[in-house]
A and B are shown apart, each in its own frame.
Chain A
Amino acid sequence: MTTAPAISLHGAVAALGGRPVLRGVDLTVQPGEVVALLGANGSGKSTTVRTVVGSVPLQRGTLELFGTPYARFRHWHRIGYVPQRTTAASGVPASVREVVSAGRLSRHGLLPLRRRDREAVDRALSAVDMLDRAGDGVADLSGGQQQRVLIARAMVGEPDLLIMDEPMAGVDLASQQVLAGTLQQEVARGAAVLLVLHELGPLEPLIDRAVVLSDGSVAHDGPPPPSGRGYPRQSAGLAGLPDDDPALLTGQGCHPQASDDHHRPRTTAPGLLP
């Protein structure tokens, strides 16, 4: 086993559609560490994560995964990824088992599924309490159940690092509890976890460190904000979070199901609007 950080991102600069989103983000996740990535909408949380998994290219900066530069990294089975829940249901029906099996491709690649792959799929499904729904269509599940399927898909390769983008978004309470329990087991197994979160919520006891992004830069990197409080919700473009002052990060708490002010102002010039 190496002791290199699971994720080592330095000076990350990235843009989406020509608009700069990350302006020099540093992020390190040590093996076995659970790190929460927090920040207001548009602060670059998801983009940071998508940079780490290679979906958004780095314009500047360096990325190493388990001590290997990204371009040479091949041990993808060490990473389990849970994207924002947007893709579980597709045009053509797919069963729960089929979706979870896709996560096992990091182990068997272009070869057919083997017996140990099938067993791993069963284990992952029972870990999220979905084994009895294995044959059901993903589109017939609730949002929380779909999220459980996506997390099983990420776990099925037995990764050393789990990367989750808003795993609790739109998830009912029962599923939230299942997810928190599953995550606890993964952490106990020794997996490192990087979580994009809106607020700490039921995962709070698991979190070792919080990184707060503001306007594409790291505003805070250290202990998670105190219990029961969120961080102030601000629109992107307004004043970011104050630097290095955890006390100021704990404004009014926010409920996960509180109504959201997600719609960022578009970059369209106002004069062009009717």
Chain B
Amino acid sequence: MTEMLTTDFMQRALLAAVLIGITAPAVGLYLVQRGQAIMGDGIGHVALTGVSLGFLLNTSPVWMATLVAAAGAVVMELIRERGRTRGDIALAMLFYGGMAGGALIIKLAPNGSMANLTTYLWGSILTVSASDIVTVVVLAVLVVAITVGLRRQLFAVCQDEEFARVTGLPVRLLNLLLAVTAAVTVTVAMRVVGLLLVSALMVVPVAAAQQVTRSFAATQALAVGIGVVVSLGGTTASYYQDLPPGPTIVVLAMVLFGLIGLLAVPLARRRHGSGAAARDLRLPAPRSGSDPAGAVPDDEQRLSPGTSLAQ
């Protein structure tokens, strides 16, 4: 264990892993809450074009990926805001365009090759350079400041956007801030887990945590804890067993998800058995602004006399 910590590259790798374990679930929480768990994946695809552009223009691939991913995330948010009509097609175009663009542009770069891209696609924590680590630290601090410092505000916006608007919050600004923060997180994490699996680290710890939590703040804290444990565990395992770190981290997260799920079953049973559980937990899907059915109350919400008296 101590031997691992004496090497420079391993120190950097572990520092990066901790930062990613913190930031990815901290942002992913909001995406999961809004039903956009897959958004991190899309940003990852777009970021690939940024990486290739970095090679082509001979600038830092990480910074270039951050810029391009942020632009892509803003476009995705604007598409979401406009409503769902044809939005998923537009998003699909963005995803595939980002992937194809990245693969084509890298061929134009003088010293670029598919091998360069592969380290970004699958992650390669052991090649994190000293300058990379500075970038990662700066961006991670920014992400934590936003996702923890503005938790109440972002929670309100992601939970009930219509209500948040009536509180006078700058809803659009917060949505764009969240999109850019997600993009930054993706590029922070890509060196370690890789662009193809970055979304997993944003989603799986949150999914694991929310099986046993009852509050948003607790979910965030537990998800970050899980994120740090699996990132450190995965990185360490990859050092000793010569495994690719990204996939190791993601598989570890999935295993934790399963273990917590097993733990959650008796816990939930106890909670339900105490009589706290409701009979009509089911809520209708949130309305979008352009939904014509929005003017009509959902008749499934009318209780039959029997259930209402039983409450």
Q: Which positions in A face B, CB cutoff 8 Å?
A: 16-17, 19, 21, 41-42, 44-47, 50, 53-56, 74-77, 79, 81, 83-95, 97-99, 101-103, 105-106, 109-110, 112-113, 135-137, 139-146, 153, 157, 166, 169-175, 198, 256-257, 259-264, 267
From B165, B166, B296, residue with most partner A Cβ within 10 Å: B166
Q: Chain A residues with Cβ under 8 A from B29's Cβ?
A: 92
- B111 on interface, CB distance cutoff 8 Å: no
Report the tally of A-B residue pairs with Cβ distances under 8 A. 203
> Chain A residues near B164 (CB, 8 Å)?
102, 105
Selecting from B9-17, B61-69, B147-155, B179-187, the interface stretch reads: B147-155
Is B303's CB under 8 angstroms from A143's CB?
yes
Q: How far is the CA of A166 from the CA of B169 in the complex (A)?
A: 24
The residue from A75, A91, A145, A173 contacting B32, defined by CB atoms under 8 A apart = A91
Residue of A44, A95, A257 near B215 (CB, 8 A) is A95
Q: How far is the CA of A90 from the CA of B210 in the complex (A)?
A: 11
Per the bound structure, the CA–CA distance linking A85 and B300 in Å amounts to 12
Contact indicator B291/A105 (Cβ below 8 Å): no
Q: How close is B93's CB to chain A, nearest CB, in angstroms?
A: 23
B281 touches A139 (CB 8 A): yes
Chain-A contact segment, one of B48-56, B193-201, B272-280: B272-280
Write the nearest CB–CB distance from A101 to chain B, whole angstroms: 6
- Give chain B residues whose Cβ lies under 8 Å from the Cβ of A141: 278
Chain B, range 190-231, C-beta contacts under 8 Å to A: 206, 210, 213-219
**Residues in A neighbouring B219, C-beta threshold 8 A:** 92-93
Rank and list the top 5 A-B pairs by shortest CB-CB distance, nearest first. A76-B168, A95-B215, A262-B299, A142-B278, A137-B214
Q: How far apart sit A245 and B271, CA to CA, in the bound complex (Å)?
A: 53
Chain B residues with CB below 8 A from A137, complex form: 213-215
One of B129-137, B245-253, B282-290 at the interface: B282-290
Which of B153, B166, B279 interacts with A79 by CB under 8 Å? B166
CB distance from A92 to the nearest CB of B (A): 4
**B interface residues with partner A (beta carbon < 8 Å):** 29, 32-35, 150, 152-153, 155-156, 158-160, 162-170, 206, 210, 213-219, 271, 276-281, 283-287, 289-299, 301-305, 308-309, 311
* A102-B156 in contact (CB<8A): yes
**B residues less than 8 Å from A42 (CB atoms):** 295-296
In the complex the two chains form, is A16's CB within 8 Å of B280's CB? no
Q: Are A262 and B155 in contact (CB under 8 A)?
A: no
From known contacts A17-B290, A105-B164, A110-B150, infer whether A140 and B169 are also in contact, taking CB-CB under 8 Å.
no
List 14 additional contacts besides A55-B289, A88-B283, A109-B153; criterion CB under 8 Å.
Answer: A19-B292, A46-B295, A47-B295, A74-B168, A85-B283, A87-B283, A93-B218, A101-B152, A102-B152, A102-B164, A103-B163, A109-B168, A146-B283, A166-B297
Assess A172 versus B311: contact at CB under 8 Å? Given A46-B294, A92-B32. yes
- How far does the Cβ of A141 sit from chain B's closest Cβ, in whole Å? 6
B153, A110: Cβ atoms under 8 Å?
Answer: yes
Report B178 CB to chain A, min CB distance, Å.
14
Q: Is the CB of A257 within 8 A of B297?
A: no
In the complex, the answer to whether A83 meets B292 with C-beta atoms within 8 Å is no
Can you pick out 14 interface pairs between chain A and chain B where the beta carbons lie within 8 Å of each other?
A16-B290, A41-B295, A47-B295, A50-B162, A76-B168, A79-B166, A83-B163, A84-B287, A87-B163, A105-B164, A105-B169, A145-B278, A169-B301, A262-B299
The answer on a CB contact under 8 Å between A50 and B294 is yes
Residues of B within 8 A of A89 (CB): 281, 283
Q: Which of B160, B287, B303 contacts A172 (CB 8 A)?
A: B303
CB of A75 to closest CB in B, whole Å: 8
Contact of A257 with B160 in the complex, beta carbons under 8 Å: no
Select one of B150, B290, B302 contacting A257, CB under 8 A. Answer: B302
Asked if A53 and B166 make an inter-chain contact with CB atoms under 8 angstroms apart, the answer reads yes
| A260 interface neighbour in B152, B276, B284, B302, Cβ under 8 Å | B302
Residues of B within 8 A of A264 (CB): 293, 296
CB–CB B165/A55 < 8 A: yes
Bound: A198/B304 CA distance, A: 16
Shortest Cβ gap from A171 to chain B (Å): 8
Residue of chain A at shortest CB distance from B278: A142
Complex contacts, B289 vs chain A, CB 8 Å = 55-56
